[in-house]
Amino acid sequence: MTSTTSPRVALVTGGSGGIGRATAERLARDGFAVGVHYAGNRARAEEVVEKIAADGGRALAVGGDVADEAAMRAAFDAVEEAFGGIDVVVNTAGIMVLSPVAEMDLDDLDRMHRTNIRGTFVVSQQAARRVRTGGAIINFSTSVTRTKFPTYAGYVASKAAVESMSLVLARELRGRDITVNAVAPGPTATPLFLDGKDQQTIDNLANAVPLERLGRPEDIAETVAFLAGPARWVNGQVLFTNGGLA
């Protein structure tokens, strides 16, 4: 049971950049102590930690491959040791390789699915074992499961798996007062999204949204903060945060 005298604690995987960074900083502003996870760039994670600390919050950088059970167990251990427990796990870590099905490099497919599927499963498994009563587990899908853009098949396959495992886990945690949901962003201006796209493609995607702009990382963090905090009656759902794209 979460102590009434200690802050709530969140672990954000992929917390060193893009949506993960915006999420870590938003949760810190909401009063969470935050574990900022990184896969390879510790310096970027430390920048997030320093920013949170400068704003009066508490944060810790933790590293490791999300698909490595021992590394994630150690990351969870470090956050629990530093802050006394874990209430919210936000799993933004993921990679995206785009290719038509006929041309997809199967090594790229395996690498993407190792991070996106196995990684989400490993993090969810640790979260299911450790998140305290009243907590939340928030995984990440994509709005392309609905829009079905060409070249996204391998990526969408991995994220459809994330959606399914998240909805099953919500039901497995019956009686624990822990919510499990997935957030499915639309086109969001992050390095992962913008990489390899020309300006015309970016403009076309922005114009396809009824709000006529790309999402910002802060838009997605707003949804995460809702699920991490007041949204105790939202459980076993996929929230499409995409400006009305699909």
Quote the pLDDT of residue 195: 76
Total count of domains within the chain:
1
Indicate whether 2 belongs to any domain: no
Mark residue 189 as left, alpha or beta (left: phi above 0; alpha: psi -120 to 50; beta: remaining).
beta
Exactly one of 155, 163, 186, 243 is catalytic; name it.
155
Determine if the pTM surpasses 0.85.
yes
Indicate whether 3 belongs to any domain: no
Domain range enclosing 118: 9-189+217-241
Alpha-carbon span 229 to 30, nearest angstrom: 9
| Contact call for residues 117 and 42 (beta carbons, < 8 A) | no
Quote the pLDDT of residue 1: 40
Indicate whether 115 belongs to any domain: yes
Q: Low-confidence residues of the chain, pLDDT below 50?
A: 1-4
CATH number, position 92: 3.40.50.720
Locate tokens 């009656």: which residue? 233
Name the helix (H) or strand (E) containing 1. none
Quote the pLDDT of residue 191: 78
Grouping H, G, I as helix, E, B as strand and the rest as coil, residue 46 is helix
Residue 155 annotated in active site: yes
Grouping H, G, I as helix, E, B as strand and the rest as coil, residue 135 is coil
Indicate whether 185 belongs to any domain: yes
